[in-house]
Amino acid sequence: MKFEKIQAPKGVREYLPPESQSFEWVREQLIAPAKSAGYQLMELPVFEDTNLFSRGVGESTDVVSKEMYTFEDRGGRSITLRPEGTAGVMRAVIEQNLDRGQLPVKVWYSGQFFRAERPQAGRYRQFYQVGIEAIGTEDPALDAEVIAIADRGFKNLGLKNYRLEITSLGDAQSRAAHRVDLLAYIEALDLDEATAARAQINPLRLFDDKRPEMQSAMAKAPLLLDYLSPESAANFAAVQKYLTAMGIAFVINPRMVRGLDYYTGTTFEFVHPDLGAQSGIGGGGRYDGLMETLGGQSLSGIGFGLGVDRALLAAIAESTVPSQEFTSDLFIIPLGDDAKEQSLVLAQNLRNSGIQTEIAFGDRALKGAMKAADKSGARYVIVLGESELKEGVIELKRMSDGVTTSVKIGQLQEELRRTLSL
RNA sequence: GUGGGCGUAGCUCAGCUGGUAGAGCACUCGGUUGUGGUCCGAGAUGUCGCGGGUUCGAGCCCCGUCGUUCACCCCA
Map out the domains of chain A with their CATH numbers: 19-171+229-317 (3.30.930.10), 330-419 (3.40.50.800)
Q: What is the pLDDT of residue A127?
A: 93
pLDDT of residue A83: 94
Tens digit of each residue's pLDDT (9 = 90 or more) over A108-156: 999 999 999 888 889 999 999 999 999 999 999 999 999 999 999 999 9
A102 within 8 A of A112, measured Cβ to Cβ: no
3-state secondary structure (DSSP) of residue A264: strand
Per-residue confidence (pLDDT) for residue A191, from 0 to 100:
79
Q: How far is the CA of A229 from the C1' of B4 (A)?
A: 47
* pLDDT tier for residue A76 given thresholds of 50, 70 and 90: very high
Q: How far apart are CA A347 and CA A90, in angstroms?
A: 47
Q: Which nucleotides of B are covered by protein (CB under 7 A)?
A: 1-3, 27-30, 34-37, 66-76
More confident residue, A363 or A178: A178
Positive or negative: CA dihedral A133, A135, A141, A143: positive
Q: Can you give the distance from the CA of residue A121 to the C1' of nucleotide B12 in angstroms?
A: 21
**Following DSSP, what letter does each residue of A13-62 receive, concatenated?**
----TTHHHHHHHHHHHHHHHHHHTT-EE----SEEEHHHHHHHT-TTSH
- For the CA of A301 and the C1' of B3, the distance in angstroms is 40
Q: Are A330 and A343 in contact (CB under 8 A)?
A: no
Give dist(CA A108, CA A135) in Å, integer. Answer: 12
Does at least one atom of strand B sit less than 7 Å from the CB of A406?
A: no
Name beta bridge partners: A47: A81
Residues 309-328 of A with CB under 7 A from strand B: 309-310
All residues at 6 or more sequence positions from A78 whose CB lies less than 8 Å from its CB, including other chains: A49, A50, A51, A70, A71, A72
Return the H-helix or E-strand segment holding A389.
helix A386-391
What mean pLDDT value characterizes chain A? Answer: 91
Query: Cα A20–A113–A320 angle (5° rounding)?
Result: 35
Residues 247-286 of A with CB under 7 A from strand B: 257-260, 269-270, 276-283
Higher-scoring residue by pLDDT: A43, A386:
A43
Q: Which residues in range 188-207 of chain A are in contact with strand B, contact meaning CB within 7 A of any of its atoms? A: 198, 205
Q: Is the CB of A171 under 7 A from strand B?
A: no
Average pLDDT over residues A46-66: 88
Residue A118 CB in 7 A reach of strand B: yes
Shortest CA–C1' contact from A373: which nucleotide?
A: B36
Question: pLDDT digits over A242-296, tens only?
Answer: 999 999 999 999 988 887 888 999 999 999 998 888 899 999 999 999 999 999 9
Q: Give the span between the Cα atoms of A202 and A327, in whole angstroms.
A: 53
Secondary element (H or E) of residue A383: strand A380-384
Q: Report CA(A366)–C1'(B75) in Å, whole number.
A: 54
CA A23 to C1' B14, whole Å: 34
Q: Cβ contacts of residue A225 below 8 Å, gap of 6+?
A: A167, A168, A236, A252, A254
Q: What is the pLDDT of residue A1?
A: 43
pLDDT digits over A3-36, tens only? 677 788 888 888 888 888 889 999 999 999 999 9
Section A152-163 average pLDDT: 96
Of A212, A214, A213, A176, nearest to A198 (Cα)?
Answer: A214
Q: Which amino acid is at A375?
A: K
User: In this structure, is the CB of residue A377 within 7 Å of any atom belonging to strand B?
Assistant: no
* Cβ of A368 near strand B (distance < 7 A): yes
Asked if the Cβ of residue A115 lies within 7 A of any atom of strand B, the reply is yes
DSSP sequence for A297-357 = -S--EEEEEEEHHHHHHHHHHTT-PPP-----SEEEEE-SHHHHHHHHHHHHHHHHTT--E
Q: Which residues pair with A105 in a beta bridge?
A: A135
Does this complex have an ipTM over 0.85?
A: no
What average pLDDT does range A192-200 have in this prediction? 78
Closest nt to residue A209, judged CA to C1': B73
Strand B closer than 7 Å to the CB of A153? no
| Residue A304 CA distance to nucleotide B58 C1' (Å) | 55
